[in-house]
Amino acid sequence: MSMAKKECIKVLHNERIEEGVYDLWLDAGDMATRAQPGQFLSLYCNNGGRLLPRPISICEIDKKSKRIRLVYRVMGEGTKEFAELKSGDFLDCMGPLGKGFTLEGKKALIIGGGIGIPPLLELAKQLTCEKDIVLGYRDATFLNKEFEKYGKVYISTEDGSVGRKGNVIDVIKENDLTADIIFSCGPTPMLRGVKEFALANKIKAQLSLEERMACGIGACLACVCQSKEVDHHTNVNNKRICKEGPVFYADEVII
Amino acid sequence: MENKISKNNKIDLNTEVSIAGLTFKNPVTTASGTFGSGMEYGDYVDLSRLGAVTTKGVSLLPWPGNPTPRIAETYGGMLNAIGLQNPGIDVFIDRDLPYLRSHDTKIIVNVVGKTAEEYCQVVERLSDCDVDMLEINISCPNVKEGGIAFGQDATRVEAITSQVKKYAKKPIIIKLSPNVTDISETARAAEAGGADALSLINTLTGMKIDIDRRKFLLANKTGGLSGPAIKPIAVRMVYQVANAVKIPIIGMGGIMTGEDALEFIMAGATMVSVGTANFINPMATEEVIDGIEAYMSRNQIYDINKLIGCVE
């Protein structure tokens, strides 16, 4: 009956890969078979006082071994709890949820910022066309080496410690990068910059958005973003990030 | 032998309850706003198992709701300030109602409005529709006009109840706010206005502050607190209201399990609503029904009605 359901699944591996950033592999069963790049999983805490699931984007999918990889940042008490998970532990999980990236284009520009970078890894893996990859960090980098397998990687850091000092748009302009499709995930101010760049250069763009969620399945209407047109489901200018998103075409949403 | 007992238990358990002449197959419904119009949960639960589905609040015109963030977790609960976003009565009637009707469950439509006239207009639009009951939401803490403005003053509660009653062809439930000094006063006012039933409690107004950013977590600053954190308050209020009025009560506030639901029933609720639990576990409604049935079997209570208000 159900496409997604809440299941108790096994942790295969969980390690810190950078200050506050963790790399988690889950024995995800059918979730891995169904998962697509850009979708997310809802992870539940063991502490009964923390009720709501934490939506975390899928970083890698291993359909053959039915494993899913999540790379997440410790943001609060819930993710702090996840950081303490050890291999062999179990946790409640639901997914895959949401609408992910649509694989398209002949020349792609993949633009990630901070903890918005992980969901782009599976995308980069599955996207067969030519691609440039631009990754923006505050300071310390992570996952950038893994992206090198899939395209030319450009890096920006706010403090200039790695790559170019500045932001992703600075890197794109400096290197005259162009494409017929942009895929992007990162903090909202960065996505605004990406959208502006895409519009100015008439490039189609898919953006992955985030917002605080409760249910993760489209019922609570907490995680809406503003849409340009009246949305088919909500009948107002709001789209549900957990359901119609998290990935939207840039011209669909007002960010 | 074992087989016979379980078979007997299954057959002999009566979970049917009635409110305002309507019979519900069991006392479990959904709290308005936590279940959409059922569609999102169709993949997770068999809607036909539910006593009723109570829909998200419906207004005359589409409402866009509040700015985000609309939600914040708190210990054992959550704050929401969705702001009654809904597609409006036309889309509700054309799209959501037929979906719900295709299941074998009763339909309770939650009605919201900015003015008394708007409540009446929505109720009037629904009068020719195939719905079972209407729940009048005069207790939403997250909208400036309407909502709680009607629900905190006994005189206004009675007035809006009797106004709405004039247009309603279906039994009316008035949903009460816990954000009052004495909930039995507003309960009695709704009864005096002609309410067929009461539902309680709506959320408690709360606030959360992000101390690192020194900002409110919710764009609306305040939100409605729900979840297990509020359950003892809700059970107490159901008990209070059950002793103040004669009309049936639908109890809610933090129900996660069958055991939680039974507390409300024993306090005097004829039916119960599962709310926040749906966000945490989309299968929660069915699990609550299973939990109630398991309790009845275990304790050889063959009629749920024997448990209503049985606390002593």
pLDDT tens for each residue of chain B, 312 residues long: 343 344 444 558 999 999 999 999 999 999 999 999 999 999 999 999 999 999 999 999 999 999 999 999 999 999 999 999 999 999 999 999 999 999 999 999 999 999 999 999 999 999 999 999 999 999 887 776 667 778 899 999 999 999 999 999 999 999 999 999 999 999 999 999 999 999 999 999 999 999 999 999 999 999 999 999 999 999 999 999 999 999 999 999 999 999 999 999 999 999 999 999 999 999 999 999 999 999 999 999 999 999 999 999
For B189, the domain range is 17-62+84-207+224-306
pLDDT at B161: 96
The ipTM (two decimal places) reads: 0.93
**Contact between B43 and A4 using a beta-carbon 8 Å cutoff:** yes
Contact A215 B279 (CB under 8 A): yes
Which residues in chain A are closer than 8 Å to B280, comparing Cβ atoms? 44, 51-53
- The CA distance from A61 to A44, in Å, is 20
Question: Considering only CB atoms, which chain B residues are within 8 Å of A213?
Answer: 71
Residues in chain B within 8 Å Cβ distance of A223: 68, 70-71
Query: What is the C-alpha radius of gyration for chain A, rounded to an integer number of angstroms?
Result: 18
CATH number of the CATH domain containing A85: 2.40.30.10
Structural domain including A201 reads 107-254
Cβ atoms of residues B227 and A51 within 8 Å: yes
Q: Is residue A211 part of a domain?
A: yes
Does one domain contain both A82 and A142?
Answer: no
Of A97, A124, A147, the residue that ends a domain is A97
Max Cα distance, chain A (Å):
51
Same domain, A116 and A170: yes
User: In the listed set A97, A116, A135, which residue is the last one of a domain according to the structure?
Assistant: A97
Residue A118 token pair: 């992980």
How much is the CA Rg of chain B, to the nearest whole Å? 19
Helices B258-267 and B231-242 cross at an angle (nearest 10°) of 30
Quick one: which of A247, A129, A114 has its CA closest to A186? A114
B87 touches chain A (CB under 8 A): yes
pLDDT confidence of residue B295: 97
Q: What is the pTM of this model?
A: 0.94
Asked if A78 and A112 sit in the same domain, the reply is no
- Residue A247 makes CB contacts below 8 A (sequence gap 6+) with A38, A98, A99, A100, A101, A102, A206, A207, A208, A209
Facing residue for A51 by CB, picked from B43, B62, B76: B76
* Cβ–Cβ contact B81 with A under 8 A: no
Whether B73 has its CB under 8 Å from any CB of chain A: the answer is yes
* A159 and A61 part of one domain: no
- My answer on whether A91 and A14 are in the same domain is yes
Residue B148's pLDDT is 77
Report the alpha-carbon distance of residue A201 to residue A227 in Å, rounded. 21
The pLDDT tens digits of the residues spanning A222-245 come to: 999 999 999 999 999 999 999 999
Query: Does residue A102 sit within a domain?
Result: no
- Convert the pLDDT of each residue in A81-119 to its tens digit: 999 999 999 999 999 999 999 999 999 999 999 999 999
Tell whether A112 and A90 lie within a shared domain. Answer: no
- Whether residue B140 lies in the annotated active site: yes
- The total domain count for chain B is 1
Number of structural domains chain A divides into: 2
Return the CATH number at B53. 3.20.20.70
Sign of CA dihedral B36, B41, B43, B45: negative
Q: Most A CBs within 10 Å: which of B37, B46, B58, B68, as the mutation test of the A interface? A: B68
Interface A-B: count of C-beta contacts within 8 A = 110
Residues 197-216 of A with CB under 8 A from B: 211-215
CATH number at residue A211: 3.40.50.80
CB contact under 8 A, A224 and B85: yes
The verdict on residue B105 lying in a domain is yes
Q: Is A60 helix (H, G, I), strand (E, B) or coil?
A: strand
| Residue B194 sits at the chain A interface (C-beta within 8 Å) | no
Give the model's pLDDT for residue B4. 39
**How many Å apart are CA B230 and CA B199, to the nearest integer?**
15
Distance CA A11, CA A24 (A): 7
Q: Are both A71 and A126 inside the same structural domain? A: no
Q: Is B35 on the interface with A (CB under 8 A)?
A: yes
A232 in contact with chain B, both atoms CB, cutoff 8 A? no
Q: What is the pLDDT of residue B11?
A: 57
Chain B residues with CB-CB distance to A2 below 8 A: 43-44
Per CB-CB distance under 8 Å, the chain A contacts of B282 are 5-6, 94, 215, 217
* Direct distance between the N- and C-terminal alpha carbons of chain A, in angstroms, rounded to an integer: 35
Beta bridge partners of B17: B24
Token match 């993710």: residue? Answer: A79
The torsion of the CA quartet B216, B222, B228, B229, rounded to 10 degrees, works out to 80
| A217 at interface of B, judged by CB pairs closer than 8 A | yes
Under an 8 A CB cutoff, do B34 and A220 touch? Answer: yes
A123: enclosing H helix or E strand = helix A119-126
| Cα–Cα–Cα angle for B151, B157, B158, rounded to 5 degrees | 175
Residue B238 lies in a domain: yes
Domain for residue B34, yes or no? yes
Taking all residues of chain A, what is their mean pLDDT, rounded to a whole number? 95
CB-closest option in B63, B76, B279 to A214: B279
Do strands A21-27 and A5-18 pair parallel, antiparallel, or not at all (unpaired)?
Answer: antiparallel
Do A84 and A113 belong together in one domain?
A: no
Domain termination residue (choose one: A67, A97, A127): A97
Asked whether residue A22 is assigned to any structural domain, the reply reads: yes
Q: pLDDT-based confidence at A3, cuts 50/70/90?
A: low
Q: Report, as an integer, the average pLDDT of A190-198.
A: 97
CB-nearest partner of A212 from B69, B276, B282: B69
In chain B, residues with a C-beta closer than 8 Å to the C-beta of A215 are: 40, 278-279, 282
A185 shares contact with chain B (CB less than 8 Å): no
Sequence-ordered list of residues with C-beta below 8 angstroms from that of A18, at least 6 positions apart, any chain = A140, A141, A142
Burial (0-12, 13-18, 19+ Cβ within 10 Å), A140: middle
User: Active-site residue among B120, B129, B140, B310?
Assistant: B140
Would B5 be classed as within a structural domain?
no
In chain B, the N- to C-terminal Cα span, in Å, equals 35
Residues 6 or more apart whose Cβ sits within 8 Å of residue A144: A135, A153, A155
Closest alpha carbon to B117 in B159, B67, B87: B159
The whole-angstrom separation of Cα A35 and Cα A202 is 30
- Buried b / exposed e over A174-209, threshold 16 CB at 10 Å, is eeebebebbbbbbeeebbebbbebbeeeebebbbbb
Q: What gap in Å lies between CA A253 and CA B2, rounded to an integer?
A: 60
| A126 in contact with B, Cβ within 8 Å | no
Examine the domain organization and report whether A111 and A93 are in the same domain. Answer: no
On whether any CB of chain B is under 8 Å from the CB of A45, the answer is no
Residues A84 and A112 in one domain: no
